[in-house]
Amino acid sequence: MAVARGEVIEINSDEEDDEPSITRVQAMSLCEQLARAVLEYGKAEGTFELSKQLCHFRAHLRREEFKKAKQMALDRYLGNE
């Protein structure tokens, strides 16, 4: 291996990865799907606890999403400017 021989390995740092690999909306959807799957396919022990934790995490994601939301006037929302 290059590391064992003392060679320098360069890593492409040109690409900026500021964007998360999964959005909050996608994570909320995934939590909902997992909670349903746990209840449908899970075994008795731990099923309820995992489902509960997924709901708590989804609620946390929802709160964070609402913090970043912008309020809009009703006329503008309906297109009656």
Helices (H), the chain: 24-41, 47-67, 74-78
Q: Comparing 78 with 64, which gets the higher pLDDT?
A: 64
Contacts of 12 (CB under 8 A, 6+ apart): none
Q: Considering the chain, what percentage of its residues have pLDDT values greater than 70?
A: 75
Q: Are residues 65 and 24 in contact, defined by beta-carbon separation less than 8 angstroms?
A: yes
Confidence of residue 3 (pLDDT cuts 50, 70, 90): low
What is the pTM assigned to this prediction? Answer: 0.56
Confidence of residue 52 (pLDDT cuts 50, 70, 90): confident
